[in-house]
Structure 1
Amino acid sequence: MDTRLMNGAGNKFILADVRGRAGVFNLSRTTVRELAHTHHFDQLLVLEDSDSADAFMRIWNADGDEVGACGNGTRAAAWAMMQETGARAVSLGTVGGLLHASDAGPLTVSVDMGPPRLDWQDIPLARPMDTVKLDYAAEIDGIRIEAPGAVSMGNPHAVFFIRDVEAFPAARLGREVELDPLFPERVNVGFAQIHDANHIRLRVWERGAGITAACGTGACAALVAAHRRGLAERRASIMTNGGELFVDWREDDHVILTGPVEDEGPITVNF
């Protein structure tokens, strides 16, 4: 494995393995943005050497910002590592913490995303607030959304509950919410439609990437936010534009994300 194009439920990644190389691997925002413009990915994932895990994974959004977590990206990287070694499970260090992933079937990977972070300071928010139902609203052209749930899965999420996700202008309002001063690190914005207690339709505006086909941490955040509001059970199917993800918020407080991966093959990237 060197550099590959992959996706997880349609979430597109470039995965680069620089383990064993001498020196520090650094990328400028400009370089990442140019690569995203050329290769049309949502996130760039880079595997580095680690003393405490099978690899350390760094994550850049398409806008060039380095971030702490990517659920579908972790699943894709774990699949590639397991294919390379024949292992059934791997560990990945990230800025957001140590993650454990395992084989869940053909082209399917589960990752333990750890406990959700639910205190206002952990999201983070700019001021104290009940994260079950934020005292917050946004409006564009007479379309108003309000009272999202807030969850951090190693990155910040605001989840709005919408009656009809298909007809909703998610891109316009997602951009507005992402940049609101309430969210000092900006925020990923989920738009969730509850079909029933075990089935949720989700679209996500990812900070630094825009509307994506899927978002793994967004799926986790949607399930957690919905359960905290009494709208869903602790385990649900999350249907995204790119495919179906399964999220289980276990009784031990860990959130397990499971879903498909696809290896689109090696590519040449000039870093």
Structure 2
Amino acid sequence: MYFAKYQGLGNDFILIDNRSSSKLLLSSEQILKMCNRHFGIGADGIIFVLAGNEISDYGMRIFNSDGSEPEMCGNGIRCLVSFISTLEKFEKTSKTYKISTLAGIISAELQTKKQVKVEMGIPLLLNKQIPTTLKDKNNTVINYPLEIEKEIWPVTCINIGNPHCVTFIKNSDLIDLEKLGPLFEHHSVFPERINTEFVEVIRSNYLKMRVWERGAGATLACGTGACASVVAGVVAKKNDRICTVELPGGCLSIEWMEDNGKVYMTGSAEEVFTGQYTQ
């Protein structure tokens, strides 16, 4: 089976061309094996490129390294678009694709072979939309005091294609991600688990973020998480609507438009290598 390995700010994925079949070409067991960094190719997840339909150019299914399926992935969709341009042998400088995901139709603009701008949609703030049992008087979760390990964490919850819990801290480098991440992810107030961002405000237009991803653990970057962090900072009055978000793997440009309410993410996507996988 032909595959391509891509990374977006160090968040790495195996890309599979699945357009010729209505069924996924890999089983759950094969997905787990391929993502294994010791006995397989190694990746944070596997992305399948599906055939389009009457409202989309292509479809996207993504599975985390633990086999779970999120609704979509910000870094992953940039890698998907770059991979599609290779499949199409598209050599021009710009093209926009409509991608069907479990989170709906996502519009993504290939600006260069290694740079993609994605329209991430309108963030959801109501507690039932996250989902979470937490809620304030407005049925949102903004600066809500959540107790973890006998410490109170002010959290803001956003759904932007998938669920996120954002907490602002003084020094992101001091966070014990391996300890705290699972405690947030599997907390009983998040019935479908949660992605968690620990965010430090460097300047009003520059954030520093570390992430624990649902189903993948600590990763070098999370596109939807960067978007959620900017939105959370705006509603909590901590940062501007246009921000650079620094992640361990690099930086993303995020803008939450005031006129249409949509979030836009711009960042890199690069092919690492291609190969043939023997099942």
For Structure 1 versus Structure 2, the TM-score category normalised by the shorter chain is: over 0.9
The equivalent residue for 2:74 is 71
Residue 136 and residue 104 in structure 1: after superposition, are their counterparts in 2 closer, same or farther (change >3 A)?
same
The equivalent residue for 2:48 is 46
1:126 match: secondary structure: coil
1:121 match: secondary structure: helix
The equivalent residue for 1:62 is 65
Matched, 1:246 2:267: no
Residue 119 and residue 214 in structure 1: after superposition, are their counterparts in 2 closer, same or farther (change >3 A)?
same
Give, in angstroms, the shift of residue 131 of structure 1. 1.4
Structure 1: how far apart are the matches of 2:277 and 2:143?
43
Residue ranges of structure 2 left out of the alignment (5+ in a row): none
Matched, 1:7 2:7: yes
1:171 match: secondary structure: helix
Normalising by structure 2, report the TM-score: 0.91
Matched, 1:30 2:29: yes
2:145 match: secondary structure: coil
Maintained 8 Å contact 1:2/1:18: no
**Aligned letter for 1:180?**
H
Q: Map Cα deviations across residues 89-123 of structure 1 (whole Å, 9 max, x no partner).
A: 11110001100111234511110010011110000
Maintained 8 Å contact 2:18/2:25: no
The 5 Å alignment of 1:173-184 reads 173-184=180-191
**Aligned letter for 1:214?**
A
The equivalent residue for 1:263 is 271
The equivalent residue for 1:190 is 197
Q: Percent identity?
A: 31
Q: Map Cα deviations across residues 158-187 of structure 1 (whole Å, 9 max, x no partner).
A: 011111111211221011110001001000
Give, in angstroms, the shift of residue 262 of structure 1. 1.1
Give, in angstroms, the shift of residue 88 of structure 1. 1.2
2:127 match: secondary structure: coil
Residue ranges of structure 1 left out of the alignment (5+ in a row): none
Give, in angstroms, the shift of residue 44 of structure 1. 0.8
2:80 match: secondary structure: helix
Structure 1: how far apart are the matches of 2:237 and 2:77?
29
Structure 2: how far apart are the matches of 1:162 and 1:203?
11
Maintained 8 Å contact 1:165/1:202: yes
Structure 1: how far apart are the matches of 2:272 and 2:167?
33
Q: Which moved more, 1:47-56 or 1:90-99?
A: 47-56
Computed over aligned residues only, the root mean square deviation of the Cα atoms, in angstroms, reads 1.8
Give, in angstroms, the shift of residue 267 of structure 1. 2.4
Among 117, 125, 142, which residue is 1:132 paired with? 142
Matched, 1:165 2:172: yes
Structure 1: how far apart are the matches of 2:173 and 2:240?
23
Residue 88 and residue 236 in structure 1: after superposition, are their counterparts in 2 closer, same or farther (change >3 A)?
same
